[in-house]
Structure 1
């Protein structure tokens, strides 16, 4: 058996048992992947995959155990490569940050410029998506870290740490009746009054919308949602042209930048939320990843992050073995 066979099995599982897609991801041929897997099964003396004709349908029971072992082996192989890079090329390498649009637009701009000033040789990439997609990217090692409010802290195999807390904000035009409310009056604003106006807010697939729907439903109030959008900038645009009031994440409203709108606090209605950063359990982090995490939140020191990685359960339910961290 060899690492190539391990890679073929792992990628086949990741690609939902589609050999063609697995071969494409590994830059090889589909017959080559199929042959290597069959040879591997023959060598082990067990069937890893359930088949229907020539098509793979899923994992057998012994295949589930084999898949867990392969995942551990490949994780440690990747860790060896990272250890080598850390000590041979300490300030060079790649870093993929998986994030929601809100994090890319409003949070990371204060972090990325000083990070790249400190590590100019690091190739930095942003990969945007919804929280479940971001979690899968880190689990499948397509991204080094993920930043989002939902999903990360409840996904097995991820070590998630809090970065900051936030509340929703209601945005209105200056000529809207709600704009006349004082700060204390705004904090007494009710769901029933909000429902009197057309509402522009997030699409169902994006962070923040689920909470809004749940709160309205729990109070038996039906909101008049006239437009859904995938990011706060679009929501603010349509509020500005008079389509209704907007409900957005607090970090997306800045009175200095959004001078044509008025923001009203809505934490008393929709609660406080926590945005997390996550890495895969059991991974070796390059030195510059620790620096990025501490730039995101000063309390995320190397010791705090390493402890979270060591104590978090892996996706297979086992404890992560302690790892030697990167340089000081």
Structure 2
């Protein structure tokens, strides 16, 4: 058996069992991919894929075990390559961050600026999506780390580390009646149309849960993935906005007023997620340290090795 066979098996699954597409992705021929997979099956003595005629349709039970082993082997190969690059050029390379819009727009700019000043030779890329999408980007190897809220903590194959806490705030136009409230309540908020995040983003689950506990059914007029969109429609007077506290800036958002809502919706934690067993370049550790000064390389390595699985802020 050889690495080419492992790559072919993995890519066949990634391409939804389409060997033609797998061959294109690996810059080889479809017959070559098919032949290599059959030879691997013969050597192992088991069928990796179920077939209908000459077409593969899915994984057999032993095939799923084979794929799991292949993924581990290929990850170790990638780690070996990274180690070589690390010692050849520790201050250059590529680094891809998968994150949600809110984190990219409000939490990362200063961190990215500091990082690029320290590592000008590192090619930095940002990929955006919802928490599930950014987790998948790390699992598939398209990103080195993911940054999102608690939603990424339960993803198998990832190690997540808490970075910082934040709370939701309510935003309204100047002179809005809610500004007269001495202690904002969910009942007061629910009296107005709401504009807030899509259900997949930025702590929306906690917002919904808080209203449900009070047996309230707010009128959610508009859902968005972008706090700037939410603020725009609040400025137009269409409703009351609920956004992440980091997304409000009194100087920038002069046409809005902010009301604290942490006592209503609780505290949220943004977390960085890494693929289990992944080899991290030294500048990845530096980036995480810039993002969360409470973290350091030793602590990150301990969490990655399972020594501090319960680490929390």
Instruction: Note if 1:231 corresponds to 2:226.
Output: yes
| CA distance in 2 between partners of 1:268 and 1:173 (Å) | 21
Any idea what the Cα deviations from partners look like across 1:55-113, whole Å, max 9, x if unmatched? Answer: 43322121122112111111110011000000011111100000000111001101111
| CA distance in 1 between partners of 2:262 and 2:10 (Å) | 44
1:17-96 matches, within 5 Å, as: 17-96=17-96
1:289 aligned to which of 284, 290, 297 = 284
1:212 aligned to which of 201, 207, 213 = 207
Of residues 3-12 and 20-29 in structure 1, the stretch that sits farther from structure 2 once superposed is 20-29
Alpha-carbon distance change, 221 to 21 in structure 1, aligned in 2, over 3 angstroms: farther
Unpaired stretches in structure 2, ≥5 consecutive residues: 309-313
| CA distance in 2 between partners of 1:257 and 1:280 (Å) | 37
Alpha-carbon distance change, 304 to 50 in structure 1, aligned in 2, over 3 angstroms: same
How far off its partner does 1:20 sit?
4.1
| CA distance in 2 between partners of 1:150 and 1:23 (Å) | 37
Secondary structure class of the residue paired with 2:238: coil
| CA distance in 1 between partners of 2:185 and 2:17 (Å) | 50
Alpha-carbon distance change, 81 to 223 in structure 1, aligned in 2, over 3 angstroms: same
How far off its partner does 1:250 sit?
1.1
Instruction: State the aligned residue count.
Output: 308
TM-score by length of structure 2 reads 0.93
Any idea what the Cα deviations from partners look like across 1:124-151, whole Å, max 9, x if unmatched? Answer: 0000001111111111111000000033
Secondary structure class of the residue paired with 2:305: helix
Task: Specify the alignment match of 2:131 in structure 1.
Answer: 131
Which aligned segments of 4 or more residues in structure 1 are displaced greater than 4 angstroms? none
How far off its partner does 1:154 sit?
1.2
Task: Specify the alignment match of 2:268 in structure 1.
Answer: 273
Task: Specify the alignment match of 1:177 in structure 2.
Answer: 177
| CA distance in 1 between partners of 2:147 and 2:69 (Å) | 28
| CA distance in 2 between partners of 1:263 and 1:79 (Å) | 47
Any idea what the Cα deviations from partners look like across 1:4-31, whole Å, max 9, x if unmatched? Answer: 1111111222334343443343334444
Task: Specify the alignment match of 2:159 in structure 1.
Answer: 159
Alpha-carbon distance change, 151 to 22 in structure 1, aligned in 2, over 3 angstroms: farther
Aligned alpha-carbon RMSD (Å): 1.7
Q: Given that residues 178 and 184 in structure 2 are in contact (C-alpha distance below 8 angstroms), is that contact kept between their aligned partners in structure 1?
A: no
TM-score by length of structure 1 reads 0.89
| CA distance in 2 between partners of 1:98 and 1:243 (Å) | 32
Of residues 49-58 and 83-92 in structure 1, the stretch that sits farther from structure 2 once superposed is 49-58
Task: Specify the alignment match of 1:190 in structure 2.
Answer: 185
